[in-house]
Amino acid sequence: MHEAAVNEMAVNKMAVNKMDALVGALLHSCSEHVLETMFFAAIFDQADASASNGRARLASRLHFHGKPSGDFEVDADPCVARSLTAGFLGIDESEVTPAQEDEVMAEFCNMTCGSALSSLGRVEYFRLETPETSRPPAFSPAIDGVRRAFLLEGGTLSVCLRVDFDRS
């Protein structure tokens, strides 16, 4: 391969890595801010999203379109989803219904995605579609993007953002 092409590939790879690092840092700070402000929950540590393999999960996903478009995904341990729902609604965990968990995780998905996109800098406009919530029997990521996983009280929660800058 020509040396110029090799150099260009190296530069592109560095740019992608830099962008991924920026998105990763944003996902962490936005998730932390949303969790603390609206759900009264704290991140104890970073976690490995795939470590939750084999256990039931609660996932919420949305597509956003605009300039740029992309996808956002939240995956949580059911215990985390229940705890966050109780915190958001201001009720006892024993009163939380599955429908409320679905709605609150969708709200977390919406809020965290919007917060991250608004902070990203290269976003001109976007419109979030309604999140879809599911309960897969195991961790099953549907988006190939930048993912960050966190340890919260009761288990893990991960968020993933894919931004299609090139297709905007």
Give Cβ neighbours of residue 121 (< 8 Å, ≥ 6 apart).
Answer: none
**Three-class DSSP category at 110:** helix
Tell me which residue has tokens 């919530």: 133
Q: Are 158 and 75 in contact (CB under 8 A)?
A: yes
The answer to the question of residue 124 lying near other proteins (CB under 8 A) is: yes
Pair type for strands 146-152 and 155-164: antiparallel
Listed ranges 19-27, 52-60, 96-104, 125-133: which one lies at the site for other proteins (CB under 8 A): 125-133
Of 127, 137, 144, 167, the residue at the interface with other proteins (CB under 8 A) is 127
First-to-last C-alpha distance (Å) of the chain: 30
* Shortest distance (Å) from residue 95 CB to other proteins: 22
Give whichever of 115 and 158 is closer to other proteins, judged by the CB atom. Answer: 115
Give Cβ neighbours of residue 131 (< 8 Å, ≥ 6 apart).
Answer: 60, 61, 62, 105, 106, 109, 110
The answer to the question of residue 33 lying near other proteins (CB under 8 A) is: yes
Of 84, 111, 146, 152, the residue at the interface with other proteins (CB under 8 A) is 111
Give whichever of 94 and 130 is closer to other proteins, judged by the CB atom. Answer: 130
The answer to the question of residue 90 lying near other proteins (CB under 8 A) is: no
Give the footprint of other proteins on this chain (CB under 8 A).
33-34, 37-38, 110-111, 113-115, 117-118, 123-128, 130
